[in-house]
Structure 1
Amino acid sequence: MGRGVGWPGPGAGMTTFFIGDVALDEYFTAERWPGLADKDFIDELPAECGGSIANAAVVHAALGGETEFISLLNETALSDRLIADLQANGVSTRHMLRQPGIPDSRNLIFLVDGEHVVLTLRMGQQPMPLPPATMAALRQPGFLYTTLYRARRLHEADGTLAQDLLLADLRRHGRRMVFDLDVGGATAADAAYLQGAEVVIFNQVGFRATFGHDTLTLAETWRRDHGITRLVRTMAEDGAEALDNGRLLRVPGHRVNVADVTGAGDTFGAALTWGLGQDHAFEAALEFAVAAAARSVTRHGPRGGKASRAEVLDWLKDRTSPPS
């Protein structure tokens, strides 16, 4: 694949909503990951604002996209800090949901041998009631980037629509769904949520958990039966591959010195969604997303993928330019 397909360029685009987690990421490093009944020492690093879908929202905003973020948070000072950080990164939080009494949103992230282990504080399955103003904003054309965990909890505040029926209503109003399935994958019970999605993104673990194999083309019938336009599988340093209305695309990865893989998948999904939101070809958006994700792992922190379009392209140019 060459850049002749046309890299995503700046454009007005439409507002993209991100519905998902935002959290304080507490970082630790270890020389090894201990087993059961084992013990070892760890070193603490500075905590940073993160959360998978919030990371994606920040990346999307940095690329120039109009970005709205919704989560369900408590009313503590930590939640105020998380919201203020999103706003400082150009992400609108005007539709944020607050509920007292639920736990603080925190992740414990352990960096070991170039990989990471993430432990998330369980916050429960509280419904996320969307008030009329939020539903009106969501019933506009644009993208919605979310997860199955959050989609199962959505309902109109007046109780009219909920869960998959709410998503179907948004699709009828022109809202195009992007699902980040990450490591969890999907089951047969999730079919109604994924039906008609614009993009469904798996990583290698989530793809295998869903299909029991590692061959993307064997998932074509599943994609078609669910009415999904694009099915994407990310492959870490090996890039990504996709079924685009049945057409197989492969984008090779970039070999880099890895500082921190946290947020790489979030960067990929956000960059891909941003490119599609600018009405650029899927192939170009996919190639751009792979480059943005590769750049992100060379930087520490969950927001390592935060960059402008020009910064991503300059990084890629520096890697591909012949030495002088």
Structure 2
Amino acid sequence: MSRFCVAGSLNIDLVTRTKRFPKQGETVQGESFSTFTGGKGANQAVALSKLGAETVMTGKLGNDIYAAQYMEYFRKLGISTEGITREETSTGIAVITVDENGENSIIIIPGANGRVDAAYIKEKKELIAKADFLLLQLEIPMEAVLEAARTAKAAGTEIIFDPAPAGNVPSELLKLVDIITPNETEAEALTGIRPDDEAGFAAAGKALTSKGVRTAVMKAGSRGAYIYEKGRLAHVAGFKVNTVDTTAAGDTFNAGLAYALGEGMELAGAVRFANAAAAISTTKHGAQDGMPSIDEVQNLLGF
């Protein structure tokens, strides 16, 4: 069985549901409020665990009531917490608004996530080196992401990088990455090309691989995903489901992709598996509560 390490953020999601997003300066009435465990790093670790993967999380929590709850939750899921340290600060917070169409807007307060630095990653390097796959995102400082990628590359660990939230990414990091998984917005931020159609995805994929990335797997929401590798573009269709909340669908996609590759699937099949996992996650409320089991994914795929 393949082993997976996730280096990234751990947040508490404070979720408000409303019919529509407020305009600037406007107040609208919300319909409900809930608290969930989240963070892009932790989301990917939870999604992997729910699929049945052996997973270790590397990151930091604060010294508050949320941290203890998070650690216990991970233990119940079977996620290794040996890579998690608590800091004398708050746990990271994500303030999320979800409208009646299931779309979301998110504000991130880093908290302890902001204290994950290169020195900390070096302390945990054995966890990365022992893994077959390392999953990375951009909710911890770039120096930590870079150090984790360097460690993985030196150890022969496959690197799957989700360049989210969208922003500047050093060329050194892109040259270390095996598979990059941007959505349309993130692909545009990295390449200056908005992939609105097949030609756009091909151009964005070409630009990404020219920067040193081996393979670009570009997420396209309900349309599925586009693979650009060795100068060729391939489309892998998505799945039609009743969407109620898209929060963490991208994180579920990354976990599904890593899991399927770890199970020996070829890339197109792994992307189809990831599309199915992500689709199922949108049919339920909450970032991590909606993440599917391996049985749910296999049922959608018709296995």
The CA distance in 1 between the partners of 2:163 and 2:219, in whole Å, is: 11
Q: Does 1:111 align with 2:98?
A: yes
Distance of aligned partners of 1:262 and 1:141 in 2 relative to their CA distance in 1, 3 Å threshold: closer
Q: Does 1:19 align with 2:1?
A: no
Report the counterpart of residue 200 of structure 1 in structure 2. 180
Equivalent in 134, 138, 160 of residue 124 of structure 2: 134
Q: Does 1:239 align with 2:234?
A: no
Report the counterpart of residue 65 of structure 1 in structure 2. 53
Distance of aligned partners of 1:267 and 1:249 in 2 relative to their CA distance in 1, 3 Å threshold: same
> For 1:250-287, what per-residue CA distance to the aligned partner results, in whole angstroms no more than 9, with x for missing partners?
11122221111111111101000111122221111001
User: What is the identity percentage for the equivalent residue pairs of Structure 1 and Structure 2?
Assistant: 24
Superposition TM-score, scaled by structure 1 size: 0.84
CA contact (8 A) 1:182 1:201 kept: no
Question: What is the one-letter code of the residue matched to 1:208?
Answer: E
More helix per residue: 2
The CA distance in 2 between the partners of 1:273 and 1:44, in whole Å, is: 34
What's the secondary structure of 1:181's corresponding residue? coil
Distance of aligned partners of 1:307 and 1:34 in 2 relative to their CA distance in 1, 3 Å threshold: closer
Q: Does 1:173 align with 2:163?
A: no
Superposition TM-score, scaled by structure 2 size: 0.89
> For 1:68-89, what per-residue CA distance to the aligned partner results, in whole angstroms no more than 9, with x for missing partners?
0011222222111112112212
What's the secondary structure of 2:115's corresponding residue? coil
User: Offset of 1:194 from its aligned partner?
Assistant: 1.9
Distance of aligned partners of 1:317 and 1:304 in 2 relative to their CA distance in 1, 3 Å threshold: farther
Question: What is the one-letter code of the residue matched to 2:52?
Answer: G
User: Offset of 1:131 from its aligned partner?
Assistant: 6.9
The CA distance in 2 between the partners of 1:150 and 1:185, in whole Å, is: 13
Report the counterpart of residue 31 of structure 2 in structure 1. 43
The CA distance in 1 between the partners of 2:205 and 2:245, in whole Å, is: 33
Equivalent in 267, 292, 298 of residue 252 of structure 2: 267
The CA distance in 2 between the partners of 1:130 and 1:253, in whole Å, is: 38
User: Offset of 1:308 from its aligned partner?
Assistant: 2.7
CA contact (8 A) 1:263 1:304 kept: no
> For 1:203-232, what per-residue CA distance to the aligned partner results, in whole angstroms no more than 9, with x for missing partners?
111112222221122134433333322101
Question: What is the one-letter code of the residue matched to 1:259?
Answer: V
Residue range with higher mean Cα deviation, 63-72 or 226-235: 226-235
Distance of aligned partners of 1:149 and 1:109 in 2 relative to their CA distance in 1, 3 Å threshold: closer
> For 1:140-186, what per-residue CA distance to the aligned partner results, in whole angstroms no more than 9, with x for missing partners?
351111124436232xxxxxxxx636632431211221111134044
Question: What is the one-letter code of the residue matched to 1:296?
Answer: S
Structure 2: gaps of 5 or more residues: none
What's the secondary structure of 1:29's corresponding residue? strand
Equivalent in 208, 219, 226 of residue 211 of structure 2: 226
CA contact (8 A) 2:48 2:256 kept: yes
User: Offset of 1:113 from its aligned partner?
Assistant: 3.0
Question: What is the one-letter code of the residue matched to 1:75?
Answer: N
Question: What is the one-letter code of the residue matched to 2:90?
Answer: P
User: Offset of 1:302 from its aligned partner?
Assistant: 0.6
The CA distance in 2 between the partners of 1:118 and 1:138, in whole Å, is: 29
What number of residue pairs does the alignment pair up? 295
The CA distance in 2 between the partners of 1:34 and 1:133, in whole Å, is: 44
What's the secondary structure of 2:291's corresponding residue? coil
The CA distance in 2 between the partners of 1:165 and 1:47, in whole Å, is: 32
Residue range with higher mean Cα deviation, 257-266 or 240-249: 240-249
Distance of aligned partners of 1:169 and 1:266 in 2 relative to their CA distance in 1, 3 Å threshold: closer
